[in-house]
């Protein structure tokens, strides 16, 4: 055991002197987290600050509903909306040249058409302003018109049922302004889904974990080329301690780098992955799976350069397929295959933990990662060592 710890300490010193370990383990993933967070920052938080918007409108309707629609837009609490009325033939040009978010043309007979159930066309023109504010305004206009339609249908149904006209009109108003029967309450459950910002942190951590662990085990090939490994094997040191030392170094580097990245994501990007003990178990499982994979890579290549290329390809494929940059949807056999991806299991486990899940809830991701590690170790035992024959 003394020889094992001596080799582990020596390998640690060599890896820490290697600037590429620091670059690929911490600097690059943190930089990517920052860039992606800036690129998708407005979508990565629970709430979005909507910018003030201008609506260019023309009301040709003489009834009450056209004016009510514009009044509703002007009273939106979530964003400041300025409604500017122009002639109908000027709405399109004004919307596109003044930077307005939306143009609306309310046709003549709009109110009576809704009241009698007749078709009517409300023209919406997307402006050259922010796409987000424009989409929000279109959704709001659609929702208001749907409410008007529901009130008209309700009033017409009441009249057909023999309700007096005044009472039927009151029922129609209740359909618009009355308290909803159903209420939606937002909750948090351990469903394995992460918000965008947290998903970016978890994804980059899982992706670069696959790179980091390679610096330990794949150092075997570099020592073979340098002749160091042969000199070590000529001593009385047991052969298994050589591989065990490399594996311990790769595993430890992966755990340490992942812990730093997740902690940095929590501090810098305001994300929360839940219980530290649960997150720690997930990190250990992901590091074990990634380390075991490098055993196979070290067996099937001949040189350290080939090992670096192969490790990079495997890391990118597993990372992207696991959702390092964006969620991947699949069905059938591909869905089953992707569920066995340790990177995907790591991200799903962090989602469960962030939703309040405990050790019991993350059992499947842990089984996936440790099962993957066991299979890779067994496969590597039976693979011929191409590097030894070269």
pLDDT digits (tens, 9 = 90+) for 62-74: 888 788 888 888 7
Is pLDDT of 389 > 50? no
What is the reported pLDDT for 371? 93
pLDDT of 366 > 90? The answer is yes
DSSP state at residue 25: I
The answer to whether 237 and 250 are in contact (CB under 8 A) is no
- Tokens representing 277 are 């003990």
Concatenated DSSP letters for 357-378? --TTTTHHHHHHHHHHHHHHHH
3-state helix, strand, coil in the chain (%, to 5): 70, 5, 25
* Lowest-confidence region among 105-109, 170-174, 247-251, 262-266: 170-174
| pLDDT score of 1 | 60
- Long-range contacts of the stretch 237-240 (C-beta < 8 A, 24+): 237/3, 237/7, 238/3
How far apart CA 169 and CA 171 sit, in angstroms, is 5
Which tokens in the block code for residue 21?
């370990």
User: Under 8 Å CB-to-CB from 321, ≥6 apart: which residues?
Assistant: 328, 338, 341, 343, 344
46-55, 90-99, 116-125 — which one is most confidently predicted on average?
90-99
Confidence of residue 388 (pLDDT cuts 50, 70, 90): very low
**The predicted structure's pLDDT at residue 230:** 54
In the block, tokens 């017409």 appear at 156
Give the integer Cα–Cα distance in Å for 51 and 322. 35
| Residue 278 pLDDT | 93
Contact present, 274 and 356 (Cβ < 8 Å): yes
**Kind of pairing between the strands at 53-59 and 81-85:** parallel
Domains of the chain: 2-43+195-389 (no CATH), 53-177 (3.40.1710.10)
Calculate Rg over the CA atoms of the chain.
31
Whether the per-residue pLDDT at 331 is higher than 70: the answer is no
Strand order in the sheet with 53-59: 81-85, 53-59, 102-106, 123-126
Share of the chain above pLDDT 90, in %: 8
* pLDDT for position 220: 65
Three-class SS state of 265? helix
Residue 125 CA, chain-centre distance (Å), reads: 32
pLDDT for the residue numbered 169: 52
Range in 131-135, 230-234, 276-280, 372-376 with the lowest mean pLDDT:
230-234
pLDDT reading at 54 higher than 80: yes
What pLDDT was estimated at residue 22?
74
Q: Summarize the confidence of residues 217-237 as an average pLDDT.
A: 60
Whether 147 and 133 have beta carbons less than 8 Å apart is answered as no
Q: Count of residues for the chain?
A: 390
**Are 60 and 88 within 8 A, CB to CB?**
yes
Give the per-residue pLDDT at 41.
53
Cα(171)–Cα(331) distance, integer angstroms: 47
Using alpha carbons, list the distances in angstroms from residue 82 to 72, 228, 265. Answer: 11, 75, 39
* Mean pLDDT of all residues in 310-325: 82
**Tens digit of each residue's pLDDT (9 = 90 or more) over 143-200:** 888 777 776 666 666 666 666 666 655 555 555 444 554 555 555 444 456 777 788 8
Cβ atoms of residues 69 and 220 within 8 Å: no
**Contact yes or no for 272/266 (Cβ under 8 A):** yes
Q: What is the DSSP letter of 352?
A: H
Q: Is the dihedral of CA 126, 128, 132, 134 positive or negative?
A: negative
**Structural contact between residues 101 and 51, judged by C-beta atoms closer than 8 angstroms:** no
- Cα 70 to Cα 133: distance, rounded to the nearest angstrom: 16
Q: How confident is the model at residue 32 (pLDDT cuts 50, 70, 90)?
A: confident
Mean pLDDT of 317-327: 81
123: left (phi over 0), alpha (psi -120 to 50) or beta: beta
């Amino acid at each position: 055991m003394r020889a094992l710890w001596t080799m582990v300490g020596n390998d640690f010193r060599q890896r820490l002197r290697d600037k590429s370990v620091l670059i690929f383990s911490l600097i690059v993933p943190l930089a990517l987290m920052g860039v992606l967070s800036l690129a998708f920052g407005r979508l990565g938080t629970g709430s979005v600050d909507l910018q003030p918007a201008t609506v260019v409108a023309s009301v040709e309707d003489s009834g009450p509903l056209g004016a009510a629609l514009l009044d509703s837009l002007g009273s939106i609490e979530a964003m400041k909306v300025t409604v500017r009325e122009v002639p109908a033939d000027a709405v399109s040009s004004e919307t596109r040249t003044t930077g307005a978010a939306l143009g609306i043309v309310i046709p003549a007979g709009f109110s009576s058409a809704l009241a009698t159930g007749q078709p009517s066309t409300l023209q919406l023109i997307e402006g050259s302003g922010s796409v987000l504010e424009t989409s929000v305004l279109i959704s709001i206009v659609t929702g208001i018109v749907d409410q008007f339609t529901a009130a008209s249908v309700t009033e017409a149904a009441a009249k057909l049922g023999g309700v007096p006209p005044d009472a039927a009109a009151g029922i129609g108003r209740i359909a618009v302004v009355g308290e909803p029967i159903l209420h939606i309450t937002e909750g948090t459950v351990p469903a394995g889904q992460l918000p965008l910002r947290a998903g970016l942190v978890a994804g980059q951590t899982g992706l670069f974990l696959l790179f980091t662990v390679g610096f330990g085990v794949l150092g075997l090939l570099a020592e073979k080329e340098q002749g160091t490994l042969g000199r070590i094997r000529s001593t009385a040191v047991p052969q298994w301690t050589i591989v065990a030392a490399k594996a311990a170094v790769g595993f430890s580097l992966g755990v340490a780098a992942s812990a730093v990245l997740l902690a940095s994501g929590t501090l810098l990007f305001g994300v929360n992955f839940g219980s530290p003990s649960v997150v720690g178990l997930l990190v250990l499982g992901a590091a074990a799976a990634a380390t075991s994979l490098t055993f196979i890579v070290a067996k099937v290549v001949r040189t350290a350069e080939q090992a670096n290329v192969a490790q990079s390809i495997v890391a990118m494929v597993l990372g992207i397929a696991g959702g390092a940059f964006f969620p991947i949807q699949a069905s059938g056999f591909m869905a089953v295959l992707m569920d066995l991806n340790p990177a995907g299991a790591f991200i799903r486990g962090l989602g469960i933990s962030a939703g309040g899940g405990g050790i019991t809830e993350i059992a499947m991701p842990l089984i996936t990662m440790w099962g993957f590690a066991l299979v890779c170790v067994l496969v590597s035992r039976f693979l011929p060592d191409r590097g030894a024959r070269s």
